[in-house]
Chain A
Amino acid sequence: MDSDAIIEVNRLSKAYGLLPVLRGVDFSIDRGEWVLLFGANGSGKSTLLRLLSGLSKPSAGRIRIGGWELPREAMAVRAQCGLVAHRPLLYENLTAAENLDFFGKLYGLAADERAQRGRDLLRQAGLAKSAERIVRTFSRGMKQRLSIARATLHQPEILLLDEPYSGLDQAACQNLDEMLAVAQEAGRTILLSTHQLSRAPAAAGRALVLSGGRIAYDGASDPGNLAELYVEAAGATSL
């Protein structure tokens, strides 16, 4: 494996009961890389991200994150990973600032650090004026931006995003792209899953295509031929 790899996955398999979802997945991702994970619905993208974040245990195979082995050293891995999932993972009856403060406490941040990072992230997310608003009143786009703020609050080295563009309008998608660009500039490793090729961020340099629980393509993500390679690798009939 590459010595600069921050994510190393070897022959990873995951099955729910008798249903195999991932079948011997192999790949590695270097520190600071931005990788897109494509795949049709049910191809195992979310399962792979849950495994990498330590939320789920593999049926077979090996995962190393930043040199730590999963699931044995899950506690160390959790401190290095931030996950933006399908659902925003926010408390609807708390304000945006209270949500960040709560998660800051869970990540062991000191009070002044929590306050400072919370303010900075809310400003980055364009939510500074909504800091004291209850999350229940937020739009889907606002929740998604706050979700990214939550995932980056502890300054993780790795950011895992599961279909972050779903349900967002054009302006919200652009705002999300800007937040991800800031994360990349900060040196974070980004693995972003999507089935919407049209929303593939141009800044990403590499693409993985999951099909039938296996990596069907691992290479450059040239926006010009992404659609072609996706159809070819995943065997998809439409995008």
Chain B
Amino acid sequence: MMTPFLACVLAIIAKDLRAEFRSRELLSVMALFALLSVLVFSFALELDREARAEAVSGVLWVTLIFASLLGLNRSLAQESDQGNLDALLLAPVSRSAIFAGKFAGNALFTGAVGLALLPLMTVLYNINMVAPGVIVTTVVGTVGLCSIGTLLATMTAQTRAREALLPIALLPVALPFLLTAVRATKGALNGAPEWQVWLQLLAGITVIYVVLCLLLYGYVVEE
């Protein structure tokens, strides 16, 4: 009687990709913000090469977190503004499948912006960001960030002050990602051996957040 989990997840991802391909509401805003952000940082931090290497991982993750805030707000607002979250909840599908679909879509968009930033930052900051360690860290960190972001954006999307509420709710719980992702990225850039430990820690936090969000989503959308 219940629609299979994976079929539901894939349907939601395909729907979000199709709608985004048509409207370009999410990616364009996120990409433009990210571009402006790294440009502003590159002008503001007129540092020598060593100091820039210290700062660049922080710039990447601060930019990604704020860009994801824009995307998450818009993505869940699209569901709540037209009452479409109700339409999803009316279907005989598990709440965790709805979460997984929305989360995967958001992670794809944020991940695409994050990966597109790496070559751009390589040019702007004259540091090779297109390194395997940085790419893996960006992917893992984005997944974790979007899991908790999707859960919180679902909660705040139904409020009037959602644009202000989401950052207030998300930034404190995103701190573990920010700290570990910055350390892992910096370590990967400097070739420090401990970067893999930070990456493992980031992956562990990501797994915990994803599982928690899958379990909690049903309570969040319940009236």
Contacts and interface: CB of A to CB of B under 8 A. Distances in A.
Contacts, number: 82
Interface string A41-59: 0000000001001111100
Given A54-B90, A78-B90, A108-B4, A94 B83 contact: no
A87 interface: yes
A224 B32 CA distance: 62
Contact of A79 (B19, B78, B83, B92): B92
B: contact size bracket: 20 to 34
Given A87-B82, A91-B15, A91-B84, A108 B90 contact: no
Nearest to A134: B22
A75 B82 contact: no
B3 A89 contact: no
A56 B82 contact: no
Interface of B: 1-4, 7-8, 11, 14-15, 18-19, 22-23, 78, 82-84, 86-94, 222-223
Contacts of B222: 57
Contacts of A106: 3, 8, 11, 88, 91-93
A87 B85 CA distance: 11
A50 B1 contact: no
B90 A53 contact: yes
A78 B92 contact: yes
Contact of B86 (A55, A76, A91): A55
Interface of A: 50, 53-57, 75-76, 78-79, 81, 83, 85-94, 98, 102-103, 105-108, 134, 150
Contacts of B83: 85-89
Given A55-B89, A108-B3, A108-B7, A89 B223 contact: no
Contacts of B3: 105-108
B84 A107 contact: no
14 contacts: A50-B223, A55-B86, A56-B223, A79-B1, A83-B86, A87-B82, A88-B82, A93-B22, A103-B91, A106-B11, A107-B91, A108-B92, A134-B22, A150-B87
Contact of A105 (B7, B23, B87, B90): B7
Contacts of B4: 108
A66 to B, nearest CB: 12
A75 B2 contact: yes
A46 B94 CA distance: 24
A200 to B, nearest CB: 25
Given A78-B92, A94-B19, A150-B87, A105 B223 contact: no
Contacts of A92: 82
Contacts of B7: 105, 108
B23 A93 contact: yes
A98 B8 CA distance: 15
Nearest to B23: A93
B15 A102 contact: yes
Given A50-B223, A57-B223, A75 B23 contact: no
Nearest to A81: B90
A92 B83 CA distance: 11
Given A94-B18, A94-B22, A102-B11, 9 more contacts: A55-B89, A56-B223, A78-B90, A79-B1, A85-B86, A94-B19, A107-B3, A107-B92, A108-B3
A91 B82 contact: yes
A181 to B, nearest CB: 24
A217 B158 CA distance: 35
Nearest to A89: B87
B25 to A, nearest CB: 8
